[in-house]
Structure 1
Amino acid sequence: MKKLYDFFSSVKLAIFLLLMLATTSIIGTIIEQQKDPIQYLREYGETTYKIFKFLGFTDVYHSWWYILLLVLLAINLIVCSIKRLPKIWKIAKEPKKILPEGQEKNLKAYHSITFPAPFEKVKNSLIEAFRRVRYKVEVVEEQEDKTYIFADKNVFARFGVYIVHLGVLIVLIGGLITAIWGYRGYMNLAEGTASNLVSFFTGGKIIELPFYVKCNKFKIDFYPSGMPKAYISDISIIENGKEVLRKQIKVNDPLKYKGIYFYQASYGQGEAFIQLKKGDNITTVAVAFGQPFKVEDGVYMRIVSIDGMRMLVGFEVIDHGKVKDYQAKMFTPYQIPGTNVLFAVADVKPVFYTGLQVSRDPGTWVVWLGSIILILGLIIAFFIPHRRVWVRIEKKGEDRTKVVIGGTTNKGTEGLSQELEGVLGVLKSSYCQNTPKEE
């Protein structure tokens, strides 16, 4: 158990995991994620695509090994923090508050000066001077001719690294939430059609939304060269049979509803009219190429191609996540494999359809929160010093008082020295006609 604890508290493990995450992020940037398999085959070839798919490179951020890296890094951060926290807590909350004789020379900055002023006045002026520069001052011990004072500020800066750890941990949690419950898919909708089915870019997974998305109108403009200039979709959200939201969307201007974003991503051409027969019940479905429609629970079908010369239609059947390719002649009834449903392609129209990218990222706000905490922690850890000052005030006569003052800091020794000189400068200007020499 101790070996396991030491393993997860290792800084080397943290560095290794961060390097692995950086590498996988580079892979996820170079290789476009969750694209149509045809695009991967066209760009990389069949063998390379199969290797990428096996390794999870086509969907890095939802792969089991990426999630495992996030979990391991989260465990590593938690264990490291737990292991080191007691020591930091003791340093921050249980300091030695008395400066013994001669120990000031071991501090990063110290001064020893005798002032021609009464003991009480020097003590009170010193406490007030420290409070003006935001120190928390404590009179630790008072003797007849000697007083010990302890002052510190920004003790929270000692925990800056733990705020960084917390921020990173929250970011990781946000990433895990998105990796497990988030998704990115697509919908192809011809004008006048509606659907609640979202297809993943890879594999046969299909999500049924609790509402329908309808394309009221799709407009596409072209340059004289034939390249697309702009494409705009008039989209409605239909819930419980009523339109609850409507918006014109274009590239980089999505529609958002219930945490799901609908982006204008692409376009295509082709709309099929399918007749479905189950028993005596006959229905007609109008659907854009590539957009699935439901046949039975867990079984979906989509038209993917048409061969006008031979009057053949290529279609896929998605049966509980497994995808199989088939061909059928137009106008001829076929039984959908694995079901009792007959279908026939009644008509095909070469109309344009809108391609929507559908994205759900439930971890976005968690990541933003973690990022803010992370930045705050970095500011505290790198720019805010924890400073401590010990003072020994000794009575040397009725109007003579010796002050021994020294301090330490976890960063910025020069700043501490300037601060101590500023505090002593207040006393010098109050009680000395001529600046006393340090002893």
Structure 2
Amino acid sequence: MSTSLSTRPPEDDRRPGELGFRELLRWVWRQVTSMRTALILLLLLALAAIPGSVIPQTGVDALKTSNWQSDHPKLTPVYERLGLFSVYDSAWFSAIYILLMVSLVGCIVPRTFHYWRGIRAKPPKAPSNLTRLPDHASYGTTEAPEVALERATALLKRRRYRLSVADGGDSVSAERGYLREVGNLVFHLSVLVVLVGFAMGGLFGYKGGVIMLVGDQYGFANSPDQYDEFKPGSLFQADRMEPFSFSIDDFDVDWLTTGPRAGMARGFKSHLSYQESLDSPKKTYDLRVNHPLTIGNTDVFLIGHGYAPVITIRDGNGDVVQSGPTVFLPTSPSFQSIGVVKAPEAEPTQIGLEGEFYPTVAFSQDTGSYYSLLGKPLNPMISMLVYTGDLGMDDGVAQSVYSLDKTKTTMLTKKNGAPYRVDLAEGESVKLPNGLGTVSFDGLERWNKIQISQTPGKWIALTGVVMALVGLLGSLFIRPRRVWVRARREGDGTLVEVAALDRSGGGDVAVVVDELVAALQGPQSQQQREDES
């Protein structure tokens, strides 16, 4: 008794329903690669992208992000901890994207083999009772069954059906519309192609932006340190950047002159001079919105423009401590813009100006403030507040040229306590109180914002999109159908049965059955007419 017990295999001590490690991995894989999970992850990815559209992103607009952080000091630490200022680079967004890719691969690969087998499959055997199908017909003939089936086979071949003859030789199975399965296969494969294309662009590419003054003699050279904003991919290599350079020679704006939008801009055109390398000849190109300049694998886009007032500050000693065009960033369709001018070398104290620029200034009696009536510079004016004290530029901390650190400054005020404003039309100058110096508005220049990007996988992604469109059209408009013809002896004659089935649903195959019966009866009817005559 003891010997028999010792030879028995050890019993599984798991409780009913408990999974082992291998079974648990298999169950997790099935859950991750189910179509339901893929749809849920796709929805989560769409929801996760919403903060990237609502909350300013550092990689898109660093100034707007900085201003938002200054206006929301309590929310900023929370958002930074959650990565909401750089959503598409955050760990949680990457996790959703990677899980979605794994889920889609797990969903698509098995279905790819399924559709591949469907493309190569033979038509199924004829049902035992064709009269049970919704669309069927039958007729009697004096021909032998073999003759009727041979004629049916030849007719279906001419109509490009794939054929299969039953083992007993009493029926023919035919099917067409296999390209629908090809469309399904191409559509599923295209999803992987699109994902690979986007992944290559995100890993090996880069995107950056730079604001350039029109007519700047120094221009731009394609190097990471030349960008105002630069966002490289995880596997980006700087030595793969195209060695081009360019400058903006001129900038044209097509202003509307009539209608309710008179004074607004209708079109923009930047006249570029560029070189693809140091040794290449200089070329010209008219850069417009949605018409980028392509140099090698790099695209140069015009995405914005604005004004740069030429402002000169002289300190109390009469020395010029700041002079030149200052970029002002537009805040409205009429190009009302905000900007900052800093003079850290001014004596006896540092001077900072912060305010707005109005291309065509107007005054509102309701609000008691200035505003820009038109984007076209018909009557330009600057209106700026004056700050004195420590601008914080000697603290060793990098500052944005579009913001002013006012923590250690004092705003200049009038005797009645109202803020002292410098309101200057083009060509005017004003003397600051307390011997601080003078400020003058000497002229107006233009600037363009240029976006430069290199996306290695864009053609792969585009190919995937085209594949998806072709596959979707094929799966929607190609109607697969099956036709069966059976011929057997019945009494002194032959009974021929014809039936058809539309696999896509909603298709009318009754016409197909009628045409096939008429074609099969045609030679016999002609012979009967000849015999009677």
- Considering the TM-score relative to the shorter chain, is it more than 0.5? yes
Checking the alignment, whether the CA contact within 8 Å between 1:394 and 1:402 is kept in structure 2 is: yes
Q: For residues 74 and 222 of structure 1, what CA distance do their matches in structure 2 show?
A: 46
Segments of structure 1 that go 5 or more residues without pairing to the other structure are 273-286, 291-303, 328-348, 435-439
Q: 258-267 or 11-20: which moved more?
A: 258-267
2:107 partner amino acid: C
Residues 1:131 and 2:157 are matched in the alignment = yes
- CA shift, 1:50, in A, is 5.5
- CA shift, 1:423, in A, is 0.6
Checking the alignment, whether the CA contact within 8 Å between 1:70 and 1:176 is kept in structure 2 is: no
1:337 is aligned to: none
Pick closer, same or farther for the CA change 1:156–1:254 going to 2, 3 Å: closer
- CA shift, 1:6, in A, is 0.4
Residues 1:214 and 2:246 are matched in the alignment = yes
Output aligned runs, 1:14-53, within 5 Å: 14-31=38-55, 34-42=59-67, 45-47=71-73, 48=75
Segments of structure 2 that go 5 or more residues without pairing to the other structure are 1-24, 312-323, 328-339, 353-390, 402-441, 529-533
1:2 is aligned to: 26
Q: Secondary structure at the match of 2:199?
A: helix
1:234 partner amino acid: H
Q: For residues 134 and 266 of structure 2, what CA distance do their matches in structure 1 show?
A: 67
- CA shift, 1:231, in A, is 5.7
Q: For residues 253 and 165 of structure 1, what CA distance do their matches in structure 2 show?
A: 32
- CA shift, 1:289, in A, is 7.0
Equivalent of residue 236 in structure 1, options 273, 279, 295: 273
How many residues are paired up? 379
Q: Secondary structure at the match of 1:325?
A: coil
Checking the alignment, whether the CA contact within 8 Å between 1:220 and 1:228 is kept in structure 2 is: no
1:171 is aligned to: 194
Among all aligned residue pairs of Structure 1 and Structure 2, give the percentage whose two residues are the same amino acid: 20
Deviations 1:340-375 (A, max 9, x none): xxxxxxxxx985443312222333222221111111
2:482 is aligned to: 388
Pick closer, same or farther for the CA change 1:364–1:23 going to 2, 3 Å: same
Equivalent of residue 449 in structure 2, options 347, 350, 355: 355
Q: Secondary structure at the match of 1:251?
A: coil
Pick closer, same or farther for the CA change 1:59–1:177 going to 2, 3 Å: farther
Pick closer, same or farther for the CA change 1:151–1:55 going to 2, 3 Å: same
- CA shift, 1:58, in A, is 4.6
Residues 1:375 and 2:469 are matched in the alignment = yes
Checking the alignment, whether the CA contact within 8 Å between 1:218 and 1:354 is kept in structure 2 is: no
- CA shift, 1:12, in A, is 1.4
Checking the alignment, whether the CA contact within 8 Å between 1:262 and 1:357 is kept in structure 2 is: yes
1:334 is aligned to: none
Q: For residues 123 and 157 of structure 2, what CA distance do their matches in structure 1 show?
A: 20
1:325 is aligned to: 399
- CA shift, 1:97, in A, is 4.3
Q: For residues 112 and 289 of structure 2, what CA distance do their matches in structure 1 show?
A: 48
- CA shift, 1:180, in A, is 2.2
Output aligned runs, 1:4-403, within 5 Å: 4-31=28-55, 34-42=59-67, 45-47=71-73, 48=75, 54-85=81-112, 93-95=120-122, 97-99=124-126, 102-105=128-131, 107=133, 109-141=135-167, 147-190=170-213, 191-196=216-221, 197-200=226-229, 209-219=241-251, 232-238=269-275, 239-264=277-302, 265-267=304-306, 269=308, 306-307=342-343, 310=349, 324-325=398-399, 352-396=446-490, 400-403=493-496
Checking the alignment, whether the CA contact within 8 Å between 1:165 and 1:374 is kept in structure 2 is: yes
Pick closer, same or farther for the CA change 1:369–1:32 going to 2, 3 Å: farther
2:497 partner amino acid: V
Q: For residues 421 and 227 of structure 1, what CA distance do their matches in structure 2 show?
A: 66
1:200 partner amino acid: E
Q: For residues 516 and 267 of structure 2, what CA distance do their matches in structure 1 show?
A: 68
Pick closer, same or farther for the CA change 1:312–1:326 going to 2, 3 Å: farther
Q: Which has the larger radius of gyration?
A: 2
- CA shift, 1:229, in A, is 7.6
1:283 is aligned to: none
Q: For residues 140 and 29 of structure 2, what CA distance do their matches in structure 1 show?
A: 54
- CA shift, 1:63, in A, is 4.4
Checking the alignment, whether the CA contact within 8 Å between 1:98 and 1:140 is kept in structure 2 is: yes
Deviations 1:277-319 (A, max 9, x none): xxxxxxxxxx9979xxxxxxxxxxxxx95237655698999x9
Q: For residues 352 and 192 of structure 1, what CA distance do their matches in structure 2 show?
A: 14
1:69 partner amino acid: I
- CA shift, 1:405, in A, is 3.0
Pick closer, same or farther for the CA change 1:202–1:387 going to 2, 3 Å: closer
Pick closer, same or farther for the CA change 1:427–1:391 going to 2, 3 Å: closer
Deviations 1:40-95 (A, max 9, x none): 34457344566555544455445444444333223222212333455555555455
Q: Secondary structure at the match of 2:197?
A: helix
Pick closer, same or farther for the CA change 1:403–1:32 going to 2, 3 Å: farther
Q: Secondary structure at the match of 2:285?
A: strand
- CA shift, 1:176, in A, is 1.7
Pick closer, same or farther for the CA change 1:106–1:372 going to 2, 3 Å: farther
- CA shift, 1:112, in A, is 3.7
Q: For residues 56 and 226 of structure 1, what CA distance do their matches in structure 2 show?
A: 41
TM-score with structure 1 length normalisation?
0.70
Checking the alignment, whether the CA contact within 8 Å between 1:167 and 1:373 is kept in structure 2 is: yes
Checking the alignment, whether the CA contact within 8 Å between 2:56 and 2:64 is kept in structure 1 is: no
Pick closer, same or farther for the CA change 1:316–1:384 going to 2, 3 Å: farther
Q: Secondary structure at the match of 2:170?
A: strand
Q: For residues 392 and 468 of structure 2, what CA distance do their matches in structure 1 show?
A: 49
Q: For residues 200 and 316 of structure 1, what CA distance do their matches in structure 2 show?
A: 21
Q: For residues 110 and 91 of structure 1, what CA distance do their matches in structure 2 show?
A: 25
More strand as a share of residues: 1
